Amino acid sequence: MSRPNYRLGLALVTASAVAWSTAGYFTRLIPLDAFTLLAWRGLFGGVGIAVAGAALRRPAGFSLAIGRAGWLFAAVSALAMILFIVSLTLTTVAHAAVIYATVPFVAAGLGWLILRERPSRSALAASAAAFAGVAIMAGLSAEGGWLGDAIAFAMTLCMAAIMVIARRFPNIPSLPAAALSAIISALICWPFGHPLAVSGRELVLLALFGLANSALGISLFALGARYLPAVETALIGSLDAPLAPLWVGLAFSETPSGATIAGGLVVFAAVGLYLALGARPSSSAKAPRSGEGLVA
3-state DSSP helix/strand/coil percent for the chain, to nearest 5?
A: 75, 0, 25
Mean pLDDT of the 213-220 span: 88
The verdict on residue 199 lying in a domain is: no
Q: At what angle do helices 67-90 and 34-56 cross, to 10 degrees?
A: 160
Region of poorest pLDDT, from 71-75, 76-80, 94-98, 224-228: 94-98
130 in a structural domain: yes
Helix (H, G, I), strand (E, B) or coil at 11: helix
DSSP class per residue in 74-93: HHHHHHHHHHHHHHHHHS-H
> What digits encode the pLDDT tens for the residues 114-137?
988 888 888 889 899 988 888 887
* pLDDT attached to residue 142: 55
**What is the tally of structural domains in the chain?**
1
Has residue 22 been placed in a domain?
Answer: yes
pLDDT at 103 over 90: no
Tell me the per-residue pLDDT of 267-294, one tens digit each, with 9 for 90 and over: 889 888 887 776 667 555 454 443 333 3
Average pLDDT over residues 88-98: 72
Q: Would you say residue 285 lies in a domain? A: no
Q: What is the pLDDT of residue 292?
A: 39
Structural domain of 40: 3-192+204-278
Q: In this predicted structure, what is the pLDDT of residue 296?
A: 33
296 domain-assigned? no
Q: Is residue 290 part of a domain?
A: no
62 falls in which pLDDT band (50, 70, 90)? Answer: low
> Is 288 domain-assigned?
no
Residue 154 buriedness (CB in 10 A; 0-12 / 13-18 / 19+): middle
**pLDDT band (50, 70, 90) for residue 244:** confident
> Is 283 among the domain residues?
no
- Look up the pTM and report it: 0.78
State the chain's mean pLDDT as an integer.
83
